[in-house]
């Protein structure tokens, strides 16, 4: 995969482009220009990779989050469609299809940006060197409300702007938990592109505690992953070509989104706090042995009826 979560620059360009306000992040012209450089670099990587090995598979990698209209109001329907094009589809449209989508003009207008400057041969390079598959991270879905209804609350999650979906529970950090949304996402991506898909990140950030017996019983993480793995299996039954799944992540580490150690994702606990204090000792959580069984059974221990 050529760039990790390449579309994240729509919301936080420091993560995937290295742009901060001091280097022009607040000007969307710079973000779209940086994307163009990334698209060209990705195409060059595909070209070089294919010249070295004919059997190699090279993919893109993005965040994917289904964006639901909060209600049947056509304004919200359109707003969710626009947001989904901007966040979920723009980068993959270029990397999978090999050209800028026709809605690029509306994106540039919305974000007050200029069309990226392109060198001679860039368009041909993009067209001739598309990726073979789509890798993506999936953590949540979002609801979009543009009608300023007083009945909706802003979502507490720090990934994208949106409102709280009353039909979903949320993590301790406000990320809305939506296993069915993963099945929806897989079907949407497959229907749009007809290329294999690879879920390369999926997990629950949570505060884990060690009990009086020295155990970490993270049943909430097991429940989250089990439901998402079942949704993945259901999508395969729908006809989706899914080439792989890897959770985020194997071991606790500092969360990129909040710079906290206490937002833990791993199957292995690391003794370290948000201030950087601790022994760094490792300890298996309950989810560790559970996921070993998932791997050994190719998911059947979760999805068998």
Q: What is the mean pLDDT of residues 64-78?
A: 95
Q: What is the pLDDT of residue 154?
A: 63
The arithmetic mean of pLDDT across residues 217-240, rounded, is: 98
**Residue 26 pLDDT > 90:** yes
What is the chain's mean pLDDT, rounded? Answer: 94
Mean of pLDDT values over 104-115: 97
Q: Computed over its alpha carbons, how large is the radius of gyration of the chain?
A: 20
Mean pLDDT of 229-258: 96
* 107-to-1, 95, 110, 123, 152 alpha-carbon distances in Å: 25, 17, 5, 19, 26
Contact (CB, 8 A) for 97 and 14: no
Catalytic residue among 201, 212, 275, 289: 201
Please determine, for residue 305, whether its predicted confidence score (pLDDT) is greater than 70: no
- All structural domains of the chain, each given as residue ranges with its CATH number in brackets, are 6-201 (3.20.20.80)
Q: What is the pLDDT of residues 37-57, one digit of tens each?
A: 999 999 999 999 999 999 999
Least confident of 90-99, 117-126, 210-219, 296-305: 296-305
Q: Has this prediction a pTM greater than 0.85?
A: yes
Q: Would you place residue 148 in the very low, low, confident or very high pLDDT band (cuts 50, 70, 90)?
A: low
| pLDDT band for position 105 (cuts 50, 70, 90) | very high
When pLDDT is averaged across residues 14-40 and rounded to a whole number, the result is 96
Our answer to whether residue 201 is catalytic in this structure is yes
Among residues 129, 127, 164, the alpha carbon closest in space to that of 144 is found at 164
pLDDT bracket for residue 162 (50, 70, 90): confident
Average pLDDT over every residue of 181-204: 98
Per the rule left: phi > 0, alpha: psi between -120 and 50, beta: everything else, 112 is left
Cα(178)–Cα(167) distance, rounded to whole angstroms? 9
Among residues of the chain, what percentage have pLDDT more than 90? 90
Length in residues, the chain = 305
d(CA 55, CA 197): 17
């Amino acid at each position: 995969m050529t760039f990790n979560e390449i579309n994240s620059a729509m919301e936080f360009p420091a993560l995937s482009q290295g742009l901060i306000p001091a280097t022009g992040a607040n000007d969307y012209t710079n973000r779209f220009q940086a994307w163009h450089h990334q698209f060209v670099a990705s195409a060059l990587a595909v070209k070089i990779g294919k010249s070295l090995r004919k059997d190699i598979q090279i993919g893109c990698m993005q965040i994917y989050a289904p964006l639901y209209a909060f209600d049947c109001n056509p304004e919200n329907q359109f707003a969710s469609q626009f947001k989904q094009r901007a966040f979920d589809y723009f980068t993959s449209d270029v990397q999978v299809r090999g050209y800028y989508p026709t809605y690029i003009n509306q994106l540039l207008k919305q974000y007050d940006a200029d069309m990226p400057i392109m060198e001679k041969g860039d368009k041909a390079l993009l067209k001739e060197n598309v990726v073979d598959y789509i890798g993506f991270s999936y953590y949540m879905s979002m609801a979009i409300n543009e009608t300023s209804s007083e009945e909706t609350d802003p979502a507490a999650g720090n990934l994208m702007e949106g409102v709280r979906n009353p039909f979903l529970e949320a993590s301790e950090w406000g990320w809305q938990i939506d296993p069915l949304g993963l099945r929806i996402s897989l079907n949407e991506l497959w229907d749009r592109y007809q290329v294999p898909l690879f879920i390369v990140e999926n997990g629950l950030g949570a505060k884990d505690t060690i009990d009086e017996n020295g155990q970490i019983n993270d049943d909430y993480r097991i429940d989250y992953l089990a439901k998402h793995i079942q949704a993945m299996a259901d999508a395969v039954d729908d006809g989706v070509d899914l080439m792989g799944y890897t959770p985020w992540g194997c071991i606790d580490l500092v969360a990129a989104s909040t710079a906290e150690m206490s937002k833990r994702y791993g199957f292995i606990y690391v003794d370290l706090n948000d201030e950087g204090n601790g022994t760094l000792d490792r300890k298996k959580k309950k989810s560790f042995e559970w996921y070993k069984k998932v791997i050994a059974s190719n998911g059947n221990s979760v999805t068998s009826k």
